Amino acid sequence: MHRIAIYPGTFDPITNGHLDIIKRAVKIFDTVIVAVANNIEKIPLFSIEERVAMIQKSVRDISHVEVDSFNSLIVDYCHQKGAIAMIRGLRAISDFEYEFQMALINRKIGKDVESVFLMPKEKYTYLSSSLIKEIAALGGDISSFVPDVVKNKLKEKYSK
Ligand code: ADP
């Protein structure tokens, strides 16, 4: 059986923490689809197309990764792709409550999709897309937190 997992998220933008999770996930699954959520509740800095393009460039050297976007229920999207699992990253206890709630809700509405939680390297546990945007907006150095393509796009965004 070809085991497919979906790694859903906002990825506004992708960080080295997300990449760490992707690299772990491809060791467990045959294909990992990084799926950008078209989340109407969040107002993103980058468009869906920009976020997808940045991810594509960042995962170029990692095999068995695909990039896509979706605007349906995550469990419906998993079924559509034939995925058996969805990947989520856990950084700290603070992530736990929300992720626990989501995993149980998703299990209720999409029974045959398992939520799989992976932990990044310690040095990425304090990283978040929103923190990166804040630092970049104030002109701080983010080169050790994000891939070069993201660093350049952020520079471009905030120099306007
Ligand atoms: P969402 O809006 O779905 O939380 P994010 O892009 O913020 O979208 O995060 C997607 C997933 O990646 C979540 O499971 C989140 O916990 C995880 N994640 C975010 N940043 C990191 C990081 N630095 N290390 C590990 N996992 C992370």
Q: Please give the pLDDT value at position 51.
A: 98
Check if the beta carbon of residue 6 is closer than 8 Å to that of residue 74: yes
The pLDDT of residue 159: 86
Q: Which two tokens stand for residue 96?
A: 């736990």
Q: Cβ(4)–Cβ(33) under 8 Å?
A: yes
Mean pLDDT across 57-68: 98
> What digits encode the pLDDT tens for the residues 111-136?
899 999 999 999 999 999 999 999 99
Q: Could you confirm whether 57 is annotated as catalytic?
A: no
Mean pLDDT (whole number) for 45-67 = 97
Q: What pLDDT score does 133 carry?
A: 97
Which residue, 14, 6, 7, 89, is CA-closest to 51? 14
Residue ranges of the domains in the chain?
Answer: 4-158
42 carries an active-site annotation? yes
Residue given tokens 């605007």 in the structure block: 71
In sequence order, the 6+-apart residues with CB closer than 8 A to the CB of 50 are 13, 153
- Mean local confidence (pLDDT), 55-82: 97
Q: Which of 42, 69, 91 to mutate to test the pocket of ligand 1 (most atoms within 8 A of CB)?
A: 91
Q: What is the mean pLDDT of residues 19-39?
A: 97
Pick 42 or 19 by higher pLDDT. Answer: 19
Task: Tell whether ligand 1 has an atom less than 6 A from the beta carbon of residue 147.
Answer: no
CA of 159 to the centre of ligand 1 (A): 26
User: Annotated catalytic, 129?
Assistant: yes
Angle of helix 93-109 relative to helix 74-81, nearest 10 degrees?
A: 60
CA–CA gap between residue 45 and residue 126 (Å, rounded)? 20
Q: CATH topology for 4-158? A: Rossmann fold (3.40.50)
